[in-house]
Structure 1
Amino acid sequence: MKLLLTSAGITNPSIHSALEGLLGKPVAEASALCIPTAILPFPGGPFMAYRFLSGATANPMTELGWKSLGVLDLTALPSIKREYWVDAVQQADALLVYGGDVVYLSRWMRESGLADLLPSLHDTVYVGISAGSMVTAPVYGETYDDPQAPFVIQEGLGLVDFAVLPHLNHRNHPESSAAKVERMAAEVPVPTYGMDDQTAITVRDGVMAVISEGHWQRFPS
């Protein structure tokens, strides 16, 4: 599987070029499935999911001009015939995994069966936004606004050998300040990449690269 792990979507030409490089063709010739599951536990989650699907968020993704788009809600998969949704996933060029609650997303990646399928999708591009990127780590740290709250250290999907912390030093994400990310990274047994909303990471054939028109920082484990 090829991966494009973003903080906030396809926010600049460099990340857009990286996406098409992984796809091996223009977005206009590619099909994608949108996975909004992580946003559903939030207050107003159903409305935020619709905004993502309709391209009305600040995270450019569905509005890029895909040849076709579908929706894959992970919570529904255990109740439908496996061959139906597996075929849809295998036919898609890209999986667009939205942000939200990374712990909830990790749970449903496993309970739905998608986590087991992902390693077999050699030609598919996994595109993560925020929590959708974080969940790919072998172990990730979750941060919260409350400075007294402990970090949540959780097992991820292990699709990559590092952790991602999005929205680095964003004014609306005080939990992602460089100082707090550094403290959290010390508790995570793999390197952590803090990246701002103009940065992404690609992984292809086990080789990772940082794509950035902004700022990022690597925090050793």
Structure 2
Amino acid sequence: MRLLLTSIGIENASIHDALVELLGKPIAESNALFIPTALYPFPGGPGMAWRAISGKAPSPMCELGWKSLGILELSVLPSIEEAAWVPTVRDADALLVGGGDPLFLANWMRRSGLTDLLPTLRSEAVYVGVSAGSMAATSTFVETYREPPRGNAEPLKSEDVVFATPQGDVDRTLVTGQGAGLVDFAVIPHLEHPHHPDASLANAEKWAARIPAPTYAIDDQTAIKVADGTVEVISEGRWKLFTP
């Protein structure tokens, strides 16, 4: 499986070209499935999911002109037969994994069976991650919370590390999560974004020190492209690689 891990989607021409190259054919000839699951823990999550699906969200992905676009909601998959959804995933040219809460997303990826299915997909299929969707593709990721979330299927590992944001927001606790393990590096999205003040370069360095793998901190103009084991940074912006 090939991967394109982004911070906010297909934001510029370089990332768009990388997606087409990974697909091996035009987007207009490719079938995609969009996974909105990570959005639902937030207030207004259903509206956010609708905006993403309808192309009205700030993350360009669903509106790229796909030959077909389906919705794969992970939280319903355990209640239906695998024969009803697994063939659809196997036939897709691209899985578009949206942003939101990475712990919630990674949990449902496991509970739905998608985590186990992903490594068995054909080599030409492309996993396109946005923010949490990119983080959940890795083996280990970190995220900050005002209060570490509860109710996940597996216990959370809180590092008990607190960071104050530059804008005077309440302190946040850094929590470690486990993803699908599709790549052997980690991703910190939204580097130095004004709407994500805790994703500063200084904080990214502290977070990366707690991840036992190389960690890419990327801004919204940057993506990580993975094909045939080769990792390439596609960027019209800013990024930094931290090594453990």
TM-score when scaled to structure 2?
0.89
Distance 1:216 1:168 in 2: 7
Rounded to whole Å, the distance in 2 between the matches of 1:83 and 1:180 is 44
* TM-aligned CA deviation for residue 15 of structure 1: 0.3
Alignment RMSD (CA, Å): 1.0
> Displacement of 1:143 after TM fit?
2.5
Give the equivalent residue in structure 2 for 1:13.
13
Q: SS state of the match for residue 126, structure 1? A: strand
Among candidates 177, 195, 202, match of residue 172 of structure 1: 195
Does residue 209 in structure 1 map to residue 232 in structure 2?
Answer: yes
Whichever residue aligns with residue 194 of structure 1, its letter is A
Distance in 2 (alpha carbons) for counterparts of 1:95 and 1:72: 9
Are 1:158 and 2:181 counterparts? Answer: yes
User: How far, CA to CA, are the matches of 2:21 and 2:82 in structure 1?
Assistant: 31
Bigger Rg, which one:
2
Instruction: State the SS of the aligned residue for 2:198.
Output: helix
Greater per-residue helix proportion: 1
Deviations 1:41-82 (A, max 9, x none): 110000000000000011111111000000000001011110
Give the C-alpha shift of residue 154 in structure 1: 1.6
Deviations 1:152-185 (A, max 9, x none): 1122211000000110000110111000010111
Q: Secondary structure at the match of 2:103?
A: helix
Gap regions ≥5 residues in structure 2? 147-162, 165-170
CA distance in 1, matches of 2:27, 2:107: 30
Instruction: Summarize the alignment of residues 129-208 of structure 1 with structure 2, pairs less than 5 Å apart.
Output: 129-144=130-145, 147=164, 148-208=171-231
Amino acid in structure 2 at the alignment position of 1:133: S
Aligned to 2:45: 45
3-state DSSP of counterpart to 1:108: helix
Shift of 1:118: 0.2
User: Which runs of 4 or more aligned residues in structure 1 lie more than 6 Å from their structure 2 counterparts after TM superposition?
Assistant: none
Question: Percent identity of the aligned residues?
Answer: 59
- Could you tell me how far 1:144 is from its partner in structure 2? 4.2
**What's the secondary structure of 1:150's corresponding residue?**
strand
- 1:169-204 Cα shifts (integer Å, max 9, x gaps): 001101110000101111111111000000000111
The residue identity in structure 2 corresponding to 1:211 is I
| TM-score calculated relative to the size of structure 1 | 0.98
Residue in 2 that maps onto 1:86: 86
Cα distance between partner residues in 1 of 2:180 and 2:224: 16
Count of aligned pairs between the two proteins: 221
Distance 2:76 2:60 in 1: 25
